[in-house]
Every structure is written in structure tokens, then in C-alpha cells.
């Protein structure tokens, strides 16, 4: 499980719902809850509704896995903003730089 990330660009958004740390989010401040949705990046810390939160938009980020993921796999958001294996160009949020054995694992992802 990774604890490193290299943020090249971090943006601040207002969370419109409670957002846990290391979740994939939209530019509007929601958790990205489906594949194919426009994604801004990954939260750097948890946030309550109405709170400002930093989001890594470019670079690498730590993301909570929603299941097993192989290193090198394309990732997409699951229903609660965790990373799951996706389909290139259709659902791609990034590429897993590490493997996840199970849901809840933290992995480093190269955002795209």
C-alpha cells in the first residue's frame, strides 16, 4: 500500500457532500460515482459538505481501491469514488502504478 504521491497541480473545490480522503471527484464537488463521468482528480484529505478541499488534478495521487487492481491497469471510479479497473479511453481516470489486493487498499495512480 502506497503512501507517496507527486502532485504537479492541486486545485481547491468546495465539497457539496461529505467526501472521504483519497476519493475520485468531479469539478462540481461531488464524488465521481460512475464510469464515463468528467473527473477533476483525487481528494488529498476528507471534507465535509461546504468545506474547501484540495484535489490532485495532475501528477500521481493516492486512491482507495474498490477491489483488486493489477499494476498497469486503467482505473475508473466505482459508485463511491474508489478506483476500480476500467476501459481505456472510455472510463480512464489514470493508470495504477501499484497493485491492490482488495477493496480499501491505497495505491498510487498516475492521473490522466
- The residue segments making up the domain with residue 52 are 1-112
Q: Tell me how far apart the alpha carbons of residues 67 and 40 are, in angstroms, rounded to a whole number.
A: 22
What's the average model confidence in pLDDT over 23-32? Answer: 96
Each residue of 49-61: pLDDT tens digit? 999 999 999 999 9
pLDDT band at 14 (very low <50, low <70, confident <90, very high): very high
pLDDT of residue 2: 57
CATH of the domain at 9: 2.40.300
- pTM here is 0.93
**DSSP-assigned letters across all residues of 11-77:** EEEE-SS-B-TT-EE-TTSSB--STTS---EEESS-B-TT-EEEEEEEEEEEEEBSS-B-TT-EEEE
Quote the number of domains for the chain. Answer: 1
Amino acid at each position: 500500500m502506497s503512501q507517496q504521491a507527486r502532485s504537479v497541480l492541486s486545485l481547491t473545490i468546495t465539497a457539496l457532500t461529505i467526501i472521504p480522503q483519497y476519493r475520485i471527484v468531479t469539478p462540481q464537488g461531488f464524488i465521481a460515482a460512475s464510469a464515463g463521468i468528467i473527473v477533476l482528480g483525487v481528494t488529498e484529505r476528507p471534507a465535509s459538505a461546504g468545506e474547501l478541499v484540495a484535489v490532485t488534478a495532475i501528477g500521481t495521487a493516492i486512491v482507495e481501491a474498490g477491489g483488486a487492481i493489477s499494476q498497469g491497469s486503467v482505473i475508473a471510479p466505482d459508485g463511491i469514488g474508489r478506483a476500480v479497473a476500467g476501459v481505456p479511453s472510455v472510463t480512464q481516470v489514470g493508470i495504477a502504478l501499484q497493485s491492490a489486493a482488495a477493496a480499501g487498499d491505497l495505491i498510487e495512480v498516475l492521473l490522466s
